[in-house]
Amino acid sequence: MKKSLGTMVALMVVAILSVIFITAKYSNAVDIGKDSRFIAYDNGTILDTKTNLMWAAKDNGSNINWTDAKSYCENYRGGGFTDWRMPTKSELKGLYDDSIFGNNGYHLTKLINLSGSFVWSSETTGPNTFVTSFLYGLTYEEPSSNTRRNRTLPVRTSGGETAAVNETTTEAPVAAAAATATGATKQWWEKGYVPPPKVEEPAAPVEVIAPATEAPAAPVEVVTPKVEEPAAPVEVAAPKVEKPMPEKVSMPLNVKFDTAKSDIKKKYDNDIKKVADFMKANPEATAVIEGHTDNVDIHNEPERNMRLSQARADSVRKYLIDTFGIDASRITAVGYGPNKPIASNDTKEGKQKNRRIEAVIEMVKTK
């Protein structure tokens, strides 16, 4: 019996120490950034306060197939946690936010850094698996062996550590029970309580009244003049300074490309120079070079237009950097393929309008 009791006590001590270790490790993470929904910690984790999911702060960083992506997530140890996994389609869909223009042009919180546009999900269908595009918010089927542009982003469900902490100490009830068991003085609510003996109050002393004497005349009260306190100063609120909001300026570029080509001809130098001059005049501005195509797909390969639009956007970005000296960190290139038409693709003129390059410049305008 003594051996069994000792084993139980040892197991309880180990469990409590494990909880303390895990909780301390989690609670020591320092908040290093946040937005309206996400909180970034210095241990490389991002907490989604809306879904209570914890994400890795960045993806794996290079092309990866589905099997290796699954292994990467399950062996990921960010923040010291061991329960990382691949996200589901719905979790990735919830992470996509079209209203945010994040890092590298992808639509999700800027606290998470993606190096590629497609992220693997944990769900499969036959030989294929699903990826989610953070350019368009769409889910596609792809062979699990495919690696091109695909990334993986570990996720875990947050909150288990907090629940473990909340099950701790009940020292006061235990101490009270121990006191009762060891024969301490019984309280008024316990069976067998004996009240202390009643102590009689002493009789009130007899008051001896002295003979009345003539009261002396009341002294003359000298009233000092009342000094009025100065009125409290009126607090004048400082004028509210509104924080300037960033605005986006779209500058269409009259740059035409040969069929299936992304080389820039010298005659378009002046058109691209307008963007460079604008950015030099506004050094805080950043630009996204958008590449667009029509919907012609003679090869029955939708990704072909996506690659072509990306290559054309990359060419304009490189031209701004190499020719006009714009800092590379201020320019991002994104290819949208046929997904953002500005005219009907049913006519020759409409298709020509849709084959375009635009510079979307974000800057803070002061009023």
Helix ranges (DSSP H) in 207-362: 269-281, 302-324, 348-354
Residue 13 reports pLDDT greater than 70: no
Query: 275 with 359: CB under 8 angstroms?
Result: yes
Q: Are the C-beta atoms of 342 and 355 separated by less than 8 Å?
A: no
DSSP 8-state symbol, 105: G
Q: How would you classify residue 21: left for phi > 0, otherwise alpha for psi between -120 and 50, otherwise beta?
A: alpha
What is the predicted pLDDT for the residue at 213? 58
* Beta carbons of 111 and 40 less than 8 angstroms apart: yes
CA angle 297/301/304 to nearest 5° reads 80
Residue count of the chain: 367
Q: What is the DSSP letter of 52?
A: T
Q: Which residue(s) pair with 42 in the sheet?
A: none
The 10 Å CB-count burial string (b at 16+, else e) for 228-245 is: eeeeeeeeeeeeeeeeee
Q: With pLDDT > 90 as the criterion, what percentage of the chain qualifies? A: 45
Q: Any idea what DSSP says for residue 51?
A: T
Per-residue pLDDT band for 298 (boundaries 50, 70, 90) equals: confident
pLDDT of residue 72: 98
Strand pairing report for 331-337 and 286-292: parallel
3-state secondary structure of 103: helix
pLDDT, mean of residues 70-80 = 97
Q: Which helix (H) or strand (E) is 171 found in, with range?
A: helix 171-181
Q: Cβ of 312: how many Cβ atoms within 10 Å?
A: 26
For residues 262 and 255, what is the distance between their CA atoms, to the nearest angstrom? 10
Q: Give the alpha-carbon dihedral of 301, 142, 67, 147, to 10 degrees.
A: 20
Residue 323 in contact with residue 334, Cβ under 8 Å? no
Domain spans of the chain? Answer: 31-161, 246-364
pLDDT at 255: 86
Predicted TM-score (pTM) of the model is 0.43
Round the average pLDDT of the chain to a whole number and report it: 79
pLDDT tens, residue by residue, 187-222: 544 556 555 555 555 555 556 565 555 655 666 565
Identify the DSSP state of 267: G
User: Per-residue pLDDT averaged across 243-272, rounded?
Assistant: 81
Between 23-37, 51-65, 127-141, 281-295, the lowest mean confidence (pLDDT) is in 23-37
CA–CA dist 264, 277 (Å, integer): 19
Angle ∠(34,36,37) on CA atoms, nearest 5: 80
Q: How would you class 16 by CB atoms within 10 Å of its CB: exposed for 0-12, middle for 13-18, buried for 19 or more? A: middle
DSSP characters for 338-352?
TSS-SS-TTSHHHHH
CATH 3.40.50.620 fits 246-364, yes or no: no
**Run of H or E residues at 9:** helix 2-27
User: Quick one: fold of 31-161?
Assistant: Mannose-Binding Protein A; Chain A (3.10.100)
pLDDT at residue 362 in the model: 85
Task: Name the pLDDT band for 346 (thresholds 50, 70, 90).
Answer: very high
Q: What's the Cα-to-Cα distance from 254 to each of 84, 159, 269, 318, rounded to whole Å?
A: 48, 53, 10, 17
Pick the more confident residue, 259 or 311: 311
pLDDT at 163: 35
